[in-house]
Amino acid sequence: MNSSDQPTHSDGQFAQGSTPPVYRLAPRAEEQAAMQVACDHLQSNRSKKPIASPEGLRIASISTGRGQAAEHVARQYPESTVLLWYIDLFHQQRSTQHCQIPETNDASPVELVQAPANLTIACMADLPNESFDLCLAPIPHQGEQELSRDYLQQCYDRLEIGGTLIASVDNPKDRWLHDQLKFFEKSVRVRDHKDARVYLIEKTKPLKKLKDFSCELAFRDCDELIYLTTRPGVFSHRQLDNGARQLLDAVDVFPDARLIDIGCGSGSVSLGLAMRDSSAKVHAVDSNSRAIWCVKHGANRNKLSNLTTELNADGDYSQPGTFDMALANPPYFGDFQIAEKMIQAAHRSLRDAGRLVLVTKQPAWYEENLPRWFTDCEVFASGRYHIASGVKLVS
């Protein structure tokens, strides 16, 4: 399920309880290379002509790590305005923490520093519809290709005519990224690094047409046809996850029920449950802003008024202790640390005697560990999956 080009759909991996590192992390190869080329490019332009506008250069960047390239450029060029864009709140929060750590090799307790005043670190489903003079796009060569194409198109589209896109990849023998950039401009400059390859293109004309990377599909639940929208970067893009199907089949919705879908992804479970009974209230939570976008879009498409959403990466959701049922499809990585955080978040969200229901392909861990938080636990097979459930003890 979790291949190298398929993003997992954890609920932000839960920042709650995590301790920010006391030392700075080195940038990944593609981000380090993009940072070096960006600084060379900016220095070259600065020596040729002064920045005319009072606001300075407008720069946007994505990141495969902690946003080191955007932060470095912001500190080196304080007259510029820099936007660091993430689609996931967990990564946005980690980068915000990271840029407050001073540059030191000493792992002892440190005093945090101020983030650059000209740097904005934002979590949004899409890059703002604003104009930029420079965009940085470090791309991992094993990342989700459709998400990478989406990033590249948005960065190029937002550039002013004459603006520059600097794209990099952690593959010094790359051809794929080069070919993608050729769709935008015929002239692609190359800068080779030991562990990465960097490309520069200058925007000469606007795009004639923007490719829509979203996908609408339909599935049936309880004889109702449900429309689902998925996007790159959200778990199970372009298909209905079989685990979600098993989760829907395992539960019933009673009148006036309050349900919370933890790590909702594109919203197949939330939409299905909300469609079953208009008196029920379904709350969908995820740390991925695009997941929340998909759920909202799905609610509008299916004309649902009983579905709410929450962008959250810490696992402390609104209205704790009030939900009758929590549903989850935990990821299969991270040595069950993320699954444990999701279970704990469900426990906080449920009322006394509320029930957790989750789907998994690894039932043994849940058989052993679910009783740590819940009573009346059971694990049973459902197709190629297993359903695990338990009831919150009455305090």
Residues 194 and 271 occupy one common structural domain: no
Q: Domain boundary at 202, 234, 250, which?
A: 202
CA distance 236 to 313: 20
Same domain, 143 and 82: yes
Q: What is the pLDDT of residues 301-331, one digit of tens each?
A: 999 999 999 999 999 999 999 999 999 999 9
Confirm whether 269 is domain-assigned: yes
Domain membership flag for residue 208: no
- The pLDDT tens digits for 5-27 are 333 333 334 444 444 456 899 99
Residues with Cβ within 8 Å of 111's Cβ and at least 6 positions away in sequence, in order, are 102
The CATH number that applies at residue 141 is 3.40.50.150
Query: How high does pLDDT run on average in the chain?
Result: 92
180 and 282 part of one domain: no
CA distances from 124 to 1, 154, 193, 289, 338 (A): 26, 13, 31, 6, 23
Distance CA 276, CA 97 (A): 42
Q: Residue range 137-160: average pLDDT?
A: 98
pLDDT of residue 17: 45
pLDDT band at 109 (very low <50, low <70, confident <90, very high): low
Strands (E) in the chain, as ranges, are 58-61, 81-86, 119-123, 132-139, 159-169, 189-192, 197-202, 215-221, 224-230, 258-262, 281-286, 307-311, 323-328, 350-360, 374-382, 385-392
Residue found by looking up tokens 């506008």 in the block: 53
Last residue of a domain, one of 202, 228, 243: 202
Q: 262 and 238: one domain?
A: yes
Instruction: Give yes or no: residues 311 and 278 share one domain.
Output: yes
What are 220-237's pLDDT values in tens digits?
999 999 999 999 999 999
Q: Average of pLDDT values for 377-388?
A: 97
**Cα–Cα dist 282/295, whole Å:** 11
- pLDDT surpassing 70 at residue 107: no
Same domain, 189 and 220: no
CA distance 312 to 287: 5
> Are 85 and 169 in the same domain?
yes
Structural domain contains residue 24: no
Note the pLDDT of residue 41: 96
Judged by phi (left if over 0) then psi (alpha if -120 to 50, else beta), residue 3 lies in beta
Are residue 187 and residue 327 in the same domain, yes or no? no
Report if residue 18 sits inside a domain.
no
What pLDDT does residue 119 have? Answer: 98
Are 76 and 180 in a shared domain?
A: yes
The residues, any chain, with a CB within 8 Å of residue 307's CB and separated by 6 or more, are 267, 270, 271, 274, 282, 283, 284, 295, 299
Residue 223 placed within a domain: yes
Mean pLDDT of 198-221: 98
Average pLDDT over residues 193-197: 98
Is 8 within a domain?
Answer: no
Is 177 a domain residue?
yes
The confidence score (pLDDT) of residue 47 equals 64
Per-residue pLDDT at 335: 84
- Are 176 and 34 within one domain? yes
pLDDT at 23: 81
pLDDT at 1 over 50: no
**How many CB atoms sit inside 10 A of residue 252's CB?**
10
Cβ-in-10-Å burial (0-12, 13-18, 19+) of 39 comes to middle
- Taking alpha carbons only, the member of 73, 122, 115, 119 closest to residue 93 is 122
Q: Is the pLDDT of residue 2 over 70?
A: no
Domain count, the chain: 2
Mean pLDDT of 168-189: 98
Is 199 a residue whose pLDDT tops 90?
yes
Do 236 and 196 fall within a single domain?
no
Between CA 161 and CA 334 the distance in angstroms is 44
Length of the chain measured in residues: 395
Instruction: Give the range of the structural domain holding residue 56, as residue numbers without chain letter.
Output: 29-202
Residues 233 and 156 in one domain: no
Does residue 150 surpass a pLDDT of 50? Answer: yes
Among 202, 223, 242, where does a domain finish? 202
pTM of the predicted structure, to 2 decimals: 0.92
Does 126 map to a domain?
A: yes
Residue 94 has pLDDT above 50, yes or no: yes
